[in-house]
């Protein structure tokens, strides 16, 4: 577990809107955690501060960002590229067809538990071993977007 985010990962990152080609939201990673700003430099979303509800680990070139949402642990991966840019990765289950396909494949590898919250959110819980998790990453289950480092 990291007590502080390493200096090489700290900085300001932006995503590029695929439709307009313009920079959109800004992610600022600091030693204590992260926060987001919109195009008008206004903070939005909540801040993530390393604590008992935001845990960051580093293993085999990946930062494993675990945070609590509606009482459930959520995992996101950050992979830093040699250019300094980062890839922000998750298992994307938003699309119905893709979700069914991914869950079917995952069920062959491990047990999956559906959790419904009071807020009508649904989470899929898995508890892979370290080897299983690394295999899921290598097999492309984790996908996401590239964020461009614009300032250290």
pLDDT digits (tens, 9 = 90+) for 96-152: 888 999 999 999 999 999 988 877 788 899 999 999 999 999 999 999 989 999 988
Q: What is the pLDDT of residue 5?
A: 96
Domain boundaries, the chain: 11-151
Q: What is the pLDDT of residue 70?
A: 80
Residues 36-74: tens digit of each pLDDT: 887 666 666 667 999 999 999 999 999 999 998 888 899
Identify whether the C-beta of residue 46 lies closer than 8 Å to the C-beta of residue 59.
no
pLDDT above 90: residue 90 = yes
* Tokens of residue 27, six digits: 């992610």
Contacts of 62 (CB under 8 A, 6+ apart): 77, 78, 79, 137
Alpha-helical segments (H) within the chain: 96-109, 130-138
Q: What is the pLDDT of residue 44?
A: 64
pLDDT above 70: residue 11 = yes
Phi then psi for residue 112, to 5 deg, are -125, 130
How many whole angstroms separate alpha carbon 40 and alpha carbon 31? 24
pLDDT above 80: residue 91 = yes
pLDDT above 90: residue 17 = no
How many whole angstroms separate alpha carbon 149 and alpha carbon 85? 5
Helix axes 130-138, 96-109, angle to 10 degrees: 140
Q: What is the pLDDT of residue 45?
A: 63
Q: What is the pLDDT of residue 40?
A: 67
């Amino acid at each position: 577990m990291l007590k502080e985010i390493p200096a090489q990962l700290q900085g300001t990152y932006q995503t590029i809107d695929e439709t307009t080609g313009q920079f959109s939201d800004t992610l600022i990673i600091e030693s204590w955690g992260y926060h987001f700003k919109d195009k008008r430099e206004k903070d939005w979303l909540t801040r993530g501060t390393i604590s008992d509800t935001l845990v960051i680990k580093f293993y085999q070139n990946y930062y494993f960002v675990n945070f609590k949402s509606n009482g459930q642990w959520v995992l996101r991966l950050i992979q830093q590229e040699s250019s300094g840019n980062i890839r922000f990765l998750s298992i994307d289950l938003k699309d119905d067809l893709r979700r069914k396909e991914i869950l079917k494949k995952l069920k062959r590898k491990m047990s999956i538990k559906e959790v419904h919250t009071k807020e009508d959110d649904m989470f899929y819980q898995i508890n892979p071993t370290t080897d299983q998790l690394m295999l899921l990453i290598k097999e492309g289950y984790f996908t996401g977007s590239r964020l461009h480092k614009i300032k250290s």
